[in-house]
Amino acid sequence: MRMGFDARGFLLPAGLPGCGSTARTAGRPAALEAGTASGVGVVEVVDRPAFLRLEKDWNALVESTSDAPFYRHEYIRSWMDSFVPGARIKVFTGRDHGGKLVAALPLVAERGFLYGLPVRWLVSPTSTHTARFDLIAADRRSAARAFVRTLADDHTWDVIRITDVPAGGNAWDLYHAAARAGFPAGAWESHHSPFIPLPATYAALEARLSSRFKANLRRRRRRLEERGPVTVERVTGGAALEAGLEECFALERSGWKGRRGTAAALSSKTLGFYTGLAHRASRGDYFSLFFLKVAGRAIAAQYGLTRGGVYALMMTCYDETFREYSPGHLLMEDVLRDCIAGGLNEFDFLGCDMGWKQDWSPIVRAHHWFFIFRDNAMGRMLRKAKFDWIPAAKGGLARWRRSGAGVQAAAVRIFDRSNRRRPDMRAASAVAP
């Protein structure tokens, strides 16, 4: 790869197709000048071949920082290949003086509307299936400053939307740096994902569960065992992977997700994402497909990714004809035993805080969506609309509904009271036609 140096001495891939140096300085807002001391040179990658070439460096950076599967190159690539195959990508990469990749922020450019106004979006490569997203950075502060500086000079966007950033994630620095630099910005609280910090033994974990829940699990397992031998199978790759995935997707489709039309098997994009990711993760040796089987028949499955001492539950499903045995919970029990035996630190449920997850853990991880608007009249107005006017209108509407209901309830109470005082009237109305 031919490399060049920018004005500040940063090593940049010169003339590399798909890469553009964005180390511009002219016209930069004064508030961003401090960022020049950040020590991170930004290179923008705008085409897929260039993005693909980053894989090795990208994953080395992820492994040296958070080492979560969601930020890995193959994870993001699987999502892009399945959901936005033809989209224009804008991947901001940060390199240190030696040319080493020290930060990355993958975004996708798209056009759309916000409150009826046409806007040019830069969005994180995420959807309900990706679970989590973050800025990848060895030094979050300097990376955030450098990327915000670059984004300020880039006039191809109106709104940046970064979704599902965990509390304490690196992207918070990007959000704060953008806000400090004068960009209208807002954060919107999205879902809370439960997780279990895993102790050294399963007995210690069990001690934290409610007695009733544990008793239910024991009773249901005993009753399930009456229907045949109960076994747990784990598929991590190889020849069994394809068949295992098909079995898992068929099981998911057989349940409520199939009826609602949200099962992976019902969408070629979603199916492509989970299948592609499974193959790539399996090659990276961090994929697991667990099955709970009764007399050889799969009645529950879990699709999980294990990296950095954390098991992340991407998908779970069960055969609803076995509902009375809570097969999902029984499989959870077995997977948790496996995680603890493997010395893992955490079981991450991902997704929303649902009742069945609450049975296992009271601890949740908050996630947020960030919106960063271009610092112009439209950006300021859109920010006001999204974070002030619309919430205020919604709040007012909710209060009006509550007060409406209150007025209605008060009227009913007054009517009842007056009827109690005049029993003859109530009797009269009761017999009236």
Partner 1 sequence: MTRIGDRIRDSIASVGPARTLHDLTLRAANRVVLIKLLKCMSIERVNDAFATCPKPYRALFLSAPMLQKFGRDPGNEMPEAFLDEALSKRDECFALLSGDRLAAYGWYSSGPTRIDPPDLVLHPGGRHIYMYKGFTHVDHRGRRLHAIGMTLALQSYLTRGFKGLVSYVESNNFASLKSVTRMGYEIFGTIAVLKAFGVPFTRASAGCRERGLRVAPAY
Q: Cβ 332 to partner 1, closest distance in Å?
A: 17
Of 100 and 208, CB closest to partner 1: 208
Residue 366 Cβ vs partner 1, minimum distance, rounded to whole Å: 5
Cβ 350 vs Cβ 193: under 8 Å: yes
292: helix, coil or strand? Answer: strand
- 206: tokens are 């069990």
Q: Copy the structure tokens of residue 297.
A: 């028949």
Q: What is the DSSP string of 3-71?
A: -EE-TT--EE-TT-TTEEE----TT--GGGGGGGGG--EEEEE-SHHHHHHTHHHHHHHHHHTT--GGG
Per-residue exposure over 131-158, b if at least 16 CB sit within 10 Å of its own CB, e if not: bbbbbbbbbbbbbbbbbbbbbbbbeebb
Chain residues that interact with partner 1, rule: CB under 8 A: 167-168, 172, 176, 187, 189, 192, 197-199, 204, 207-210, 309, 345-346, 353, 358, 362-366, 368
Which C-beta is closer to partner 1: that of 70 or that of 369? 369
Ramachandran angles phi, psi of 263, nearest 5°: -65, 145
**How far is residue 273 from each of residues 51, 84, 101, 102, measured CA to CA in Å?**
18, 11, 26, 27
For partner 1, the closer of residues 207 and 390 by Cβ is 207
Q: Which of residues 216 and 419 has its CB atom nearest to partner 1 in the complex?
A: 216
- Rounded Cα distance between 156 and 167, Å, is 29
- Give the residue with the Cβ less far from partner 1, 293 or 386: 386
Q: What is the DSSP string of 97-138?
A: TT--EEEEEEEEEEEEEETTEEEEEEE-S--TTT-----EES
**Burial group, residue 103, by CB count within 10 angstroms (0-12, 13-18, 19+):** buried
User: Closer CB to partner 1, residue 133 or residue 172?
Assistant: 172
**Residue 199 CB, nearest approach to partner 1 (Å):** 7
- CB atoms < 10 A from the CB of 73, how many? 22
DSSP H or E segment with residue 311: strand 310-318
| 350 contacts 314 by C-beta, under 8 angstroms | yes
Which burial class, exposed, middle or buried, applies to 179 when counting CB atoms under 10 A from its CB (0-12, 13-18, 19+)? middle
Q: CB 364 → partner 1: shortest distance, Å?
A: 5
In the bound state with partner 1, the residue whose beta carbon lies nearer, of 203 and 432, is 203
Nearer to partner 1, 112 or 309 (CB): 309
Contact 68/171 with Cβ under 8 angstroms?
no
Tell me how far, at minimum, the Cβ of 160 lies from partner 1, in Å. Answer: 17
| CA-wise closest residue to 320 among 409, 246, 400, 254 | 254
**Comparison of 204 and 427: residue with beta carbon closer to partner 1:** 204
Beta bridge partners of 294: 230, 297
Toward partner 1, which CB reaches closer, 266 or 352?
352
Q: Which is nearer to partner 1, 197 or 342 (CB)?
A: 197
Q: How far is the CB of 311 from partner 1 (least distance, A)?
A: 12
Q: Pairing between strand 4-5 and 88-95?
A: unpaired
